[in-house]
Structures are given as structure tokens and as C-alpha cells.
Structure 1
Amino acid sequence: MAPTAFARSRTDPDPARAAGRALSQRSAALVIPTGEPYAPFPSVSNSGESLPAVRTPADLGQCALDRSSRCFRPPLMAALPGGFTRRAAHIAFVYGGQLWRVPAGGGEALPLTSAEFIASNPVWSPDSQSIAFSANRHGNADVFIMPAKGGEIQRLTTHSQADTPQAFTPDGKSFVFASVGATSGFVGYKLPLGKPGISPLFTKAPPAAESVVTDGKGENVFFLGAGGIEKVNLLTGAAATIPFTAEVAYDLQGEMRWFFEHVWRMTQQKFYRKDMAGVDWELYKQEYAKHLPHLRHGGDLAELLSEMAGELNSSHMGSSYQPKITTGDATASLGLYYDHAHTGPGAKIADYLKTGSAGRADSLLRPGAIILAVNGEPIRADMDIHPLLNKTAGQPVRLSIQPAQGSAPVEEIVTPEPFVNGLLKAHDRWVAQRVQLTDELSKGRLGYIYIGLMDTKNYQGFIHNLHGRCADKEAVIIDIRFNGGGNLSERLIADLSAKSAGQSVDREGNVLGEVPSSRWTKPSAILANSWSYSDGSIFPHLYQHGKLGPFVGDPVPGTGTSVWWIHLLPGGRLQYGIPEIGRKSADGRYYENTEDHPDVLVRRSPDAIEEGRDEQLKVAVSTLLKQLDKQP
């Protein structure tokens, strides 16, 4: 059986950024930088040979796997940028944006270019003495040439558009490159080496060809596009269309077996604990593999992979499958809250979003009013309003409304918006209510800031509010309940842990601010709950460990790992997560599967949630005020 080369980069979790396609005159073998004996993208060697292992600072390598034991999809290969080529006794490849050269028989890889610019798409000359490549050395992507053993780099093109090397002519006297532009499309040129003159060879009008390759002799270039395969002779520019028929033998079971094997091995090699948390991972492979013959759908496979991952009892693990749905339901939002205690016909309004579709000042969609029909379709007592709003986002709808005052029904035209927009506006309303509640309960002494994700946008909002709306407050409450995680906890700790070293004053003695002015030097408290996830669980741990202030709310489960998501099908339709990096406390214990207990425990009761009461925030306000009142 012909072996298959597998590889992945140790330093970069995205193989498409760390590797490239290898074209050999004898085979279609693929060699990719890797730090392990297994990696995600396979390629069958037509010659039945495996290229030997090589070494770079990132530890290059490859291994073989009998192709009868796996199935792969060619589109996965399309995600790999051009970056490898083999000629005679050496291999040229791109890693980390640099051009490298390594003996094909194995050995030390030597860099040919510096890290001052990004190189790509190396192409060997027929005599193996030169290598042409594309680089952004002068800003734009141009074609350069250099000796294969290293040395002076010569610029060949100066186009304003991106240029990519394609091939040398067989005699080595000319070079063919392609220039790509949004309006000009894909244009090929022949450039004589060592003398002036440039001539166009071919033009592919926009959109450009989807794939371009040259033959082993460098005589022809082939385009693969929507219209089929086209061949252009690099010496004469003559073009011809190649007729072909193609059939795909799709082995669903084989594909699922390969995905299963791939995920199991990646988990074994990448899981953040080398001891696999004491789990017999080999045993569970055997146990779950028994179910593979019975799977018939991507959703089945995602469920099986998730169940197997669950044996490791770690956060950020599992698989998901998102089928392509183009005809699914899409309920729109009117920006209304409904009274679920209403039992009669229609949908009774309990509240509304001022920024929602029903928020305009002259609308009758107010608490107490009842929507009786949508576009003439009555809302019966045994149904909900949402089916009648399906796929109506952005389209005016006619509502029959019984006003809250009890007068005769009237009609009103309203344009619903996508449901997700309503959710975002409901979130903004929830935050605004807590800002107001904090101000009322503290009589203006305390500020309130909510952080929903540990990302740049939320950090910008945090800084804006901390040094803007909350600048004159005596203390601030940071709320990370329901936080979805990210990577922000260390920066937040730095901003909240400063001590005042002085004050800025004007000539009248008025205090203008604390020093340092860019960090918070006053007291603070945090709110967290069991939904504070990932970095949202690390933050309260660090905050409490640093004794920065009271932690109020629910216990927070430790979910402090960093995840690598493997996309197994195009578009992320099937993906699998592996926590690669763990977090440890100063005492050496992992955050994962531990629990941080608040200084002040306050449970959220179902009644309080239903009635809209925030007991946790009330306790946080009273706790922080007591701390302030104790200060001298």
C-alpha cells in the first residue's frame, strides 16, 4: 500500500499557516513541519515512497500511515498555501515566513531569507542552482530570485499588484510569473532572465482561476476553475481546454474512522496533562470505536467524540456539528416581553425595549396591550406569536392591537428585526438597569461595570466606563456573571490592583485625579457565578488570591484552560476542541476542576430571577459600602 505523509506545526496550531503543498516531479507527496508523528492533513504518495524526516528549529518530520486505514477529503488540502517544492537532492520550503533549504535525504534545515519580510511559493530553476520566490520585501508581493545555497537576492518584478512565481522555462532562460488583481484578474507573464523585455502569456478575467499548477517539466501551466481544466504552454502562450470526467468515491464510514482516529491521537498528543488526568485513553478509544459502524451522520460522530472527550472531565472539550441549513426558521423580534400568565387569545405585553422595533414614541405596543393578530392571522389562546413572525425580519407587518386602555382594536405597522438584535438590545437594557440600581442603592457612591466577554471590545468598554462614568465614584463593582471567557483576566487584575502614589492638583488645590491616573486605585468588588467560564473563571481566582476586594455571588467552577479547535469539515461544520494549556495556582494545583468560593455567598433564587430582583448585586453594594464606611 502507498504510504501517506502526515504533519503539523508544533508552534502554530493552524497547519494552513505553518505548512505548504509539496510538488515532486516523481510523486505528489506532502511534507509539512511537525512536532509529532501524526498530524491533520494527509496526502497519498503516488510513487509509494515516503520522504525522509528532516529537522528545523521547529522540529520538522513526517511519518507514514497505510492509506487503507483512512479516508480524506481533497478540499482539506486546498487550505494549504503553496510553500514546498522538491528538486534533485534538496527541498525548499517556507516556515514562519522564511525560506528554508534542507537535504531531501534528511539533515539540518538552513534559512535562506531573514525574518525581515515574508517569503512564499518557492520555485526551483531547472539546474537546481537558483530559487525564485514571492516576498513582500518592498511592501507589495513581488518575485525575487537567489542562489539555492543562499546569497544575494535579486528583485525580478515591480508590479503594483501581487506577483507569484509559477515556473522557469525548460531551458532556464526565462521565468513565468502571475500577477493577480481585483480588476485585471489572473495574468501570466514571461520574463527573460538577465536582459530586458516582458511579454504576456495568458489572461484569466475576474474571477481568477481557482487553482494553478505547472507540470513537472515546467512547459505548461494548468488552470482549474468553474469551466474545467485549461492548459497554457509557457513557451508559446497557446491555450487548450482539456476534456475530462471525474467521479468521487465517497466513503462515509472510512471518513468517520479517519476523523475518529485523528481526534483521538491529537487529544493524546495535545491534552494539557501528559498523564491524561489519570484516564486510560487507549481503553476508551477501543470502547468508543465499537460504535463507529453504526454512525450515519456528522451529528452522530460529533456526539460520539463528545462522549469520548467527556471521559477526561475537562472544560473546552467536545465536538459540534453544524449542518448547512438554508431553509430553517428565522423568528423575528418586535422587542417585546410577553405576559406568560395571560391565558386568553392574543399575546399580552408585559414590557418593551425602548430601542426595539416597538420603541417609537407613538406606538401602542405598551404594557397591558394585547396583540390579537399578525397580518390578519389571529393568535389563538393555544398558540404563541413567534410562528407568525417567522422570516419577517426587515419586512413591515400589520398588527391588530387591543390597547391597554381597553378601547377598540386598532392596527399598527411595525418592522421586526432579526431575533439576535433583540437579544443584544435586551442585554444592553439589563446592564443599564444594573447601572441605575447600583446608583440608587449606593446613593451615587458606587459605579457598576459589566464584562460579558474577555475580549478587546469589552476591555475598551471597561476602560471607558472605569475612567469615564465611574471616575468620580468612591468604589466600583465589576460584574462578570455569565462571562463567556477570552483572554483578559491578567490585564483586568493589573488595572484594579494599583495603589495610589499621590494626586494631581491645580493651583487652587483642587484634586484632579489619582496617580497613577491610568489605573484604578480605589476599592472594588466583583460579582461572579457558576456561568463565569474559561477566563471568566480565572479572573475571580486571581482577584481573590490578590485580596483586591470582596468576591460576591455563587461558587465558580475552575475552567482555566486554553483550547485548540480542530476544524474537520470545511466551514467549521464539524469541529473538535482540545485544551492544550492549563493554569496552575501558586501552590501547583490546576485551576481546572477546582472551585473558587465567594467571600459572600448569595444564591440566585428562581423567584428572584422571575421577578427581576438582583439579590447578588444588592449584597455587593451593601458589602462594598460597609467597607468604605470602615475606612478612616
Structure 2
Amino acid sequence: MVYWPGEGALKLDEFEVYVDPRAEWNQMYHEVWRIQRDFFYDPHWHGLDLTAAEKKYAPFVKAAGGRDDINHLFEEMLGEITVGHMFVGGGDFPKAPEVKGGLLGADYKIANGRYQFARIYNGENWNPDLRAPLTQPGVDVKLGDYLIEVNGVDVRPPAEVYKYFENTAGKQIKIKVSSQPDGRDVREVTVVPVADEFPLRNRAWEEDNRRKVDELSGGKLAYVHVPDTSTGGYLNFNRFYFAQIGKQGAVIDERYNHGG
């Protein structure tokens, strides 16, 4: 609490501070270099001339149009030090209303004037993080089916297929599918789209790789993808390695490793 002598507590609820973003960014820019100068573990900064680097990137501060630009500038200039685990994040960003688009966990192709399901991702429906909308119990959608309607709206290219799923993530919706583009044997099913397909697509990519390694090695080699050196990597290693422990060797895939 803040007190004025004899006045009691000072109310801070309505305090406002004027901030000039460009002046703030300029101060931040020089503070970033000062922090590296004073606290970086190597007093020679991996051979980088810090004074010259600070001067080199300074003109870009004036050209910044927002905090995204400033963060990007910090990432680029700190990359000159060439050190791992040098991260940039945070800041004041404008917050726009978000509308979560729904995703069915599928690839589409345009055929016969319709969107056709070219691949349906299975996921692991016992795992909440890998729930696949089109392989849930009672959802009768097959590879090669055509998407006819979404919530009563006819679906046809060239309209963007994902526009029909705006604001549907996590909500029950009705879609109509058919084995024929004219919808002669149309079926209506209830599905719950997900907000993010990455887990489904990533697991499918890993399983595709595992099957390919098994095929090319004649069953002699295991395949293990290590997505990071944290929880995900630990879980994946235990999942894939010990399930294939009888193999003669293993392909350890470190692509797209996020670190940790």
C-alpha cells in the first residue's frame, strides 16, 4: 500500500501511464544489448563485436510497426551471438476476437465438383489429445466419401472448405456425406470438430515413418521419433522404443525437435 502522510491509502485503481511505444522500443533495444554485455557467460560474446552489432541493427527500431516487429528484430540480432536457447517472447500485443475454426482431421481433394475425403486421420480416440472426429464411434464417414453439407449448407468448391466450419471447434455439428458426388446415398452424421489437427497429423507422420522403416529394413529396424528433449521426447521414446525392442537396430529421428 502507498500512503500520504495523514491522507490514508492512495487509490491506484485508476492510475494511467502514458507510453510512447517507439520510445519504449528504443529503450528496450539498448537494454537488450546491455544485458548481453553484462551477463552473457562468455566475456567475448563468441567473437561478436557487441558495439558494432548494436549500431548495425539500431536503424531497424525506427522502422518497426508493432511489437511483433520488435521481437523479430531481437531474434535476428541476438542470432549473431550464435548460442543455443536464446529465446525472445512476450510483449504488449493487440488482442483481436478469436473465432475457432473446426477441423475434421482429414485431407480433402476436389473431385467431380465436390470436396472428397482423401485421407482420414485415425488418431487415438482413447487419448483426449488425439481425438479424431471422423473415427469416433457411430460416425459413418469413409475414405473417398464426398462432403455434401455442413449444418444444412451445401458445400461446393471453389468456396474454401474450412469456411463452413467457422466457430465449430468443440461443438456438435451435423454433416452430410455420400459415396456419390450427387448425394444419391447421402448420410447425415453428427461430429465434433477439433480446434487443432497438428497432434493427429504428427502421429500419422510418425506411424507412416515407422511403417516405412519396417518395410525397407525387412522388419530389422525400429523407428523412434524424438519431438523434443522434454516430456514429449520421453513419452515418445518409451512408446516407440520399448514396443520394438526386439529389432536389430533403430532409426532415431530428431527432425523438428523443439529442444527442452
TM-score (norm 2): 0.77
Determine if contact 2:226/2:237 at 8 Å carries over to the other structure. yes
Change (3 A) 1:314 1:329: farther
| Partner of residue 358 from structure 1, selected from 129, 134, 157 | 134
Change (3 A) 1:439 1:253: closer
User: What SS class does the counterpart of residue 257 from structure 2 fall into?
Assistant: coil
Between Structure 1 and Structure 2, how many residues are aligned? 250
| Partner of residue 368 from structure 1, selected from 138, 144, 150 | 144
Deviation at 1:431, TM superposition (A): 2.2
Determine if contact 1:345/1:379 at 8 Å carries over to the other structure. no
Determine if contact 1:334/1:416 at 8 Å carries over to the other structure. yes
Change (3 A) 1:351 1:457: closer
Q: Which runs of 5+ in 2 are unaligned?
A: 124-131
5 Å matches for 1:144-293?
A: 213=1, 228=11, 246-271=15-40, 273-293=42-62
Deviation at 1:357, TM superposition (A): 0.4
Deviation at 1:480, TM superposition (A): 1.7
Change (3 A) 1:387 1:267: farther
Question: 1:447-468, CA deviations, whole angstroms, 9 ceiling, x for partnerless residues?
Answer: 32221111134224424543x3
Change (3 A) 1:269 1:343: farther
5 Å matches for 1:493-512?
A: none
Deviation at 1:416, TM superposition (A): 0.6
- Verify: 1:333 aligned to 2:76, yes or no: no
| Partner of residue 418 from structure 1, selected from 195, 212, 222 | 195
Q: State the match for 2:127 in structure 1.
A: none
Q: Report the residue type matching 1:428 in the other structure.
A: R
5 Å matches for 1:276-315?
A: 276-312=45-81
Q: Which runs of 5+ in 1 are unaligned?
A: 1-212, 230-243, 487-632
Change (3 A) 1:464 1:328: closer
Question: 1:389-420, CA deviations, whole angstroms, 9 ceiling, x for partnerless residues?
Answer: 1221111222232325976133322111122x
5 Å matches for 1:465-484?
A: 465-466=240-241, 468-484=242-258
Change (3 A) 1:365 1:316: same
User: What SS class does the counterpart of residue 266 from structure 1 fall into?
Assistant: helix
User: What SS class does the counterpart of residue 133 from structure 2 fall into?
Assistant: coil
Change (3 A) 1:343 1:320: farther
Deviation at 1:294, TM superposition (A): 4.6
Change (3 A) 1:477 1:387: same
User: What SS class does the counterpart of residue 484 from structure 1 fall into?
Assistant: coil
Deviation at 1:321, TM superposition (A): 5.8
Cα distance in structure 2, aligned partners of 1:307 and 1:445: 44
Determine if contact 1:369/1:404 at 8 Å carries over to the other structure. yes
Determine if contact 1:253/1:293 at 8 Å carries over to the other structure. yes
User: What SS class does the counterpart of residue 304 from structure 1 fall into?
Assistant: helix
Change (3 A) 1:268 1:379: farther
Cα distance in structure 1, aligned partners of 2:90 and 2:164: 29
Cα distance in structure 2, aligned partners of 1:391 and 1:458: 33
Q: State the match for 1:451 in structure 2.
A: 226
Q: Report the residue type matching 1:477 in the other structure.
A: V
Change (3 A) 1:481 1:300: closer
Name whichever structure is richer in helix by fraction. Answer: 2
Determine if contact 1:431/1:450 at 8 Å carries over to the other structure. yes
Determine if contact 1:284/1:308 at 8 Å carries over to the other structure. yes
Question: 1:403-451, CA deviations, whole angstroms, 9 ceiling, x for partnerless residues?
Answer: 25976133322111122xx211222222233334444444544332221
Q: State the match for 2:126 in structure 1.
A: none
5 Å matches for 1:582-597?
A: none
Cα distance in structure 1, aligned partners of 2:99 and 2:116: 23
User: What SS class does the counterpart of residue 265 from structure 1 fall into?
Assistant: helix
Determine if contact 2:113/2:181 at 8 Å carries over to the other structure. no
Deviation at 1:386, TM superposition (A): 1.1
Cα distance in structure 2, aligned partners of 1:431 and 1:221: 64
Change (3 A) 1:253 1:366: same
Question: 1:64-99, CA deviations, whole angstroms, 9 ceiling, x for partnerless residues?
Answer: xxxxxxxxxxxxxxxxxxxxxxxxxxxxxxxxxxxx
Determine if contact 1:449/1:479 at 8 Å carries over to the other structure. yes
Change (3 A) 1:367 1:259: same
Change (3 A) 1:475 1:372: same
Change (3 A) 1:369 1:463: closer
Change (3 A) 1:445 1:308: closer
| Partner of residue 395 from structure 1, selected from 171, 180, 185 | 171
Cα distance in structure 2, aligned partners of 1:274 and 1:453: 30
Q: Report the residue type matching 2:207 in the other structure.
A: A
Q: State the match for 1:509 in structure 2.
A: none
Q: Report the residue type matching 1:415 in the other structure.
A: V
Deviation at 1:351, TM superposition (A): 1.2
Cα distance in structure 2, aligned partners of 1:320 and 1:312: 18
User: What SS class does the counterpart of residue 244 from structure 2 fall into?
Assistant: coil
- Verify: 1:384 aligned to 2:160, yes or no: yes
Change (3 A) 1:288 1:478: closer
Q: Which has the larger radius of gyration?
A: 1
Determine if contact 1:305/1:319 at 8 Å carries over to the other structure. yes
Cα distance in structure 2, aligned partners of 1:294 and 1:436: 50
Cα distance in structure 1, aligned partners of 2:59 and 2:183: 67
Deviation at 1:317, TM superposition (A): 4.5
- Matched residues, percent identical? 22
Change (3 A) 1:361 1:437: farther
Cα distance in structure 1, aligned partners of 2:194 and 2:213: 31
Deviation at 1:372, TM superposition (A): 2.6
Deviation at 1:247, TM superposition (A): 3.8
Name whichever structure is richer in strand by fraction. Answer: 1
TM-score (norm 1): 0.35
Q: State the match for 1:485 in structure 2.
A: 259
Change (3 A) 1:448 1:318: closer
Cα distance in structure 2, aligned partners of 1:312 and 1:334: 43
Question: 1:534-553, CA deviations, whole angstroms, 9 ceiling, x for partnerless residues?
Answer: xxxxxxxxxxxxxxxxxxxx
Cα distance in structure 2, aligned partners of 1:455 and 1:476: 20
Q: State the match for 1:347 in structure 2.
A: 115
Cα distance in structure 2, aligned partners of 1:472 and 1:310: 43
User: What SS class does the counterpart of residue 411 from structure 1 fall into?
Assistant: strand
Q: State the match for 2:129 in structure 1.
A: none
